[in-house]
Copies of this chain bind each other. A is one copy, B any other.
Amino acid sequence: MTLPPPITLITDFGLTGPYVASMKGVILGISPQSAIVDITHAIQPQNIQQAAFVLDAVLPYFPAGTIHVVVVDPGVGSERRPIAVFTERACFVGPDNGVFSRVYRDENVRDIRHLRNPDYHLPAVSYTFHGRDIFAPVAAHLAAGVSPSVLGPTIADPVTIPFPTPEQLPDGSIRGQIIYADAFGNLISNIPRQWLDSRTDWTFEIAETAITGLSVTYSDVQPGDFVALGGSAGLVEIAQRNGSAARHLNVDAGETLIVRPAS
A6 touches B (CB below 8 Å) = yes
Interface string of A61-75 (1 = CB under 8 A from B): 111001000000011
Of all chain B residues, which has the CB nearest A45? Answer: B184
Contact A128 B231 (CB under 8 A): yes
CA distance A133 to B232 in the complex (A): 9
Selecting from A155-163, A211-219, A254-262, the interface stretch reads: A211-219
Q: Are B180's CB and A17's CB within 8 A?
A: yes
Asked if B28 and A15 make an inter-chain contact with CB atoms under 8 angstroms apart, the answer reads no
Q: State how many copies of this chain the complex holds.
A: 3
- Inter-chain contacts of A229 with B (CB < 8 A): 127-128
**Among the listed B3, B16, B132, B230, which residue makes an inter-chain contact with A40, where contact means beta carbons less than 8 Å apart?**
B16
Given the contacts A63-B32, A183-B13, A38 and B21 also touching, CB distance less than 8 Å: yes
Q: Which residues of B contact A232 (CB under 8 A)?
A: 19, 126, 128-129, 132-133
When the two chains form their complex, are residues B21 and A58 in contact, meaning their CB atoms are under 8 A apart? yes
CA of A14 to CA of B230, assembled, Å: 21
Residue A46, interface by CB 8 Å: yes
Query: How far apart are the CA atoms of A14 and B38 in the complex, in Å?
Result: 12
Not counting A18-B57, A24-B37, A128-B217, a sample of 12 additional A-B residue pairs whose C-beta atoms are within 8 angstroms of each other reads A1-B1, A6-B32, A8-B21, A18-B58, A25-B58, A35-B36, A76-B219, A78-B219, A127-B217, A128-B232, A129-B231, A132-B232
A residues whose Cβ falls under 8 Å from a Cβ of B? 1, 3, 6, 8, 12-19, 21-26, 28-29, 32-33, 35-42, 45-46, 54, 57-58, 61-63, 66, 74-78, 126-129, 132-133, 180, 182-184, 216-220, 229-233, 237, 242
